[in-house]
Amino acid sequence: MADNRMSMRTPLSRVQGLGASGHGVEHWWLQRLTAIANIPLIIAFVLIVAALAGSSYDEAIALISHPLIAIILALAVLSVCLHMRLGMQVIIEDYVHDTGPRLAALIANNFYAAVVAIACLYAILKVSLGRILV
Protein backbone atom coordinates (compact mmCIF):
# COMPACT_ATOMS: atom_id res chain seq x y z
CA MET A 1 0.00 0.00 0.00
CA ALA A 2 1.49 3.32 -1.05
CA ASP A 3 1.96 6.08 1.49
CA ASN A 4 0.48 9.28 0.05
CA ARG A 5 1.74 11.50 2.85
CA MET A 6 4.28 14.13 1.95
CA SER A 7 7.74 13.43 3.38
CA MET A 8 10.32 16.07 4.21
CA ARG A 9 13.13 13.50 4.11
CA THR A 10 15.36 13.12 1.08
CA PRO A 11 15.34 9.82 -0.80
CA LEU A 12 18.88 9.10 0.49
CA SER A 13 17.74 9.71 4.05
CA ARG A 14 14.78 7.34 3.58
CA VAL A 15 17.05 4.61 2.20
CA GLN A 16 19.58 4.98 5.01
CA GLY A 17 16.84 5.16 7.64
CA LEU A 18 18.17 8.37 9.09
CA GLY A 19 15.87 10.95 10.54
CA ALA A 20 16.14 14.17 12.48
CA SER A 21 16.56 12.23 15.73
CA GLY A 22 19.87 10.78 14.55
CA HIS A 23 21.61 14.08 13.89
CA GLY A 24 23.59 16.01 16.46
CA VAL A 25 23.12 13.56 19.31
CA GLU A 26 26.75 12.44 19.35
CA HIS A 27 27.96 16.05 19.59
CA TRP A 28 25.47 16.79 22.40
CA TRP A 29 26.47 13.68 24.37
CA LEU A 30 30.19 14.32 23.92
CA GLN A 31 29.79 17.86 25.20
CA ARG A 32 27.88 16.60 28.27
CA LEU A 33 30.38 13.80 28.95
CA THR A 34 33.35 16.15 28.78
CA ALA A 35 31.52 18.58 31.08
CA ILE A 36 30.99 15.79 33.62
CA ALA A 37 34.59 14.58 33.24
CA ASN A 38 35.85 18.13 33.75
CA ILE A 39 34.33 18.35 37.24
CA PRO A 40 36.70 15.90 39.02
CA LEU A 41 39.60 16.75 36.71
CA ILE A 42 39.38 20.49 37.42
CA ILE A 43 38.99 19.83 41.15
CA ALA A 44 42.14 17.68 41.00
CA PHE A 45 43.92 20.38 38.96
CA VAL A 46 43.03 23.05 41.54
CA LEU A 47 44.25 20.79 44.37
CA ILE A 48 47.53 20.15 42.52
CA VAL A 49 48.06 23.88 41.93
CA ALA A 50 47.21 24.59 45.58
CA ALA A 51 49.75 21.95 46.65
CA LEU A 52 52.37 23.72 44.52
CA ALA A 53 51.78 27.07 46.23
CA GLY A 54 54.90 28.10 48.09
CA SER A 55 56.89 25.13 46.76
CA SER A 56 60.39 25.41 45.46
CA TYR A 57 61.15 24.66 41.84
CA ASP A 58 62.54 21.22 42.69
CA GLU A 59 59.48 20.35 44.78
CA ALA A 60 57.17 21.43 41.97
CA ILE A 61 59.07 19.35 39.41
CA ALA A 62 59.00 16.37 41.79
CA LEU A 63 55.23 16.64 42.23
CA ILE A 64 54.47 17.02 38.52
CA SER A 65 56.93 14.19 37.74
CA HIS A 66 54.78 11.77 39.73
CA PRO A 67 53.05 9.50 37.16
CA LEU A 68 49.57 9.81 38.70
CA ILE A 69 49.79 13.61 38.79
CA ALA A 70 51.05 13.74 35.18
CA ILE A 71 48.20 11.47 34.03
CA ILE A 72 45.59 13.59 35.84
CA LEU A 73 47.01 16.76 34.29
CA ALA A 74 47.10 15.18 30.80
CA LEU A 75 43.50 13.95 31.12
CA ALA A 76 42.41 17.39 32.29
CA VAL A 77 44.10 19.04 29.29
CA LEU A 78 42.50 16.61 26.83
CA SER A 79 39.03 16.87 28.34
CA VAL A 80 39.07 20.66 28.68
CA CYS A 81 40.42 21.19 25.16
CA LEU A 82 37.83 18.85 23.65
CA HIS A 83 35.05 20.55 25.62
CA MET A 84 36.35 23.96 24.54
CA ARG A 85 36.42 22.91 20.88
CA LEU A 86 32.89 21.51 21.01
CA GLY A 87 31.51 24.59 22.75
CA MET A 88 33.11 27.00 20.30
CA GLN A 89 31.90 24.87 17.39
CA VAL A 90 28.30 25.27 18.59
CA ILE A 91 28.75 29.05 18.95
CA ILE A 92 30.31 29.33 15.48
CA GLU A 93 27.59 27.21 13.85
CA ASP A 94 24.85 29.21 15.57
CA TYR A 95 26.15 32.73 14.94
CA VAL A 96 28.30 32.67 11.78
CA HIS A 97 25.86 32.38 8.90
CA ASP A 98 28.04 32.81 5.80
CA THR A 99 29.59 29.57 4.58
CA GLY A 100 33.13 30.85 3.95
CA PRO A 101 33.69 32.58 7.28
CA ARG A 102 31.96 29.73 9.12
CA LEU A 103 34.27 27.16 7.52
CA ALA A 104 37.33 29.31 8.27
CA ALA A 105 36.23 29.78 11.89
CA LEU A 106 35.59 26.03 12.34
CA ILE A 107 39.01 25.18 10.92
CA ALA A 108 40.68 27.82 13.12
CA ASN A 109 38.79 26.47 16.13
CA ASN A 110 40.05 22.95 15.48
CA PHE A 111 43.64 24.08 14.99
CA TYR A 112 43.55 26.32 18.08
CA ALA A 113 42.25 23.51 20.30
CA ALA A 114 44.85 21.11 18.89
CA VAL A 115 47.72 23.57 19.39
CA VAL A 116 46.68 24.31 22.98
CA ALA A 117 46.34 20.59 23.78
CA ILE A 118 49.68 19.69 22.15
CA ALA A 119 51.53 22.54 23.89
CA CYS A 120 50.12 21.59 27.30
CA LEU A 121 50.77 17.87 26.80
CA TYR A 122 54.32 18.61 25.65
CA ALA A 123 54.95 20.68 28.78
CA ILE A 124 53.54 17.97 31.05
CA LEU A 125 55.57 15.25 29.33
CA LYS A 126 58.75 17.32 29.35
CA VAL A 127 58.45 18.00 33.07
CA SER A 128 57.30 14.51 34.02
CA LEU A 129 59.87 12.68 31.88
CA GLY A 130 62.63 15.26 32.29
CA ARG A 131 64.34 13.38 35.06
CA ILE A 132 64.27 10.15 33.08
CA LEU A 133 65.61 11.69 29.88
CA VAL A 134 68.32 13.82 31.46
- Tens of pLDDT, residue by residue over 17-58, are 555 555 568 888 999 999 999 999 999 999 999 999 999 999
Residue 38 counted as domain residue? yes
Q: Calculate mean pLDDT across residues 9-17.
A: 65
- Tens of pLDDT, residue by residue over 68-99, are 999 999 999 999 999 999 999 999 999 999 99
**CA dihedral for 102, 103, 106, 112, sign (positive or negative):** negative
Decide if pLDDT at 104 tops 70. Answer: yes
pLDDT at 121: 97
Decide if pLDDT at 116 tops 80. Answer: yes
Which CATH number does the domain housing residue 122 bear? 1.20.1300.10
| Residue 60 structural domain | 24-133
Residue 9 counted as domain residue? no
Residue 19 counted as domain residue? no
Structural domains counted in the chain = 1
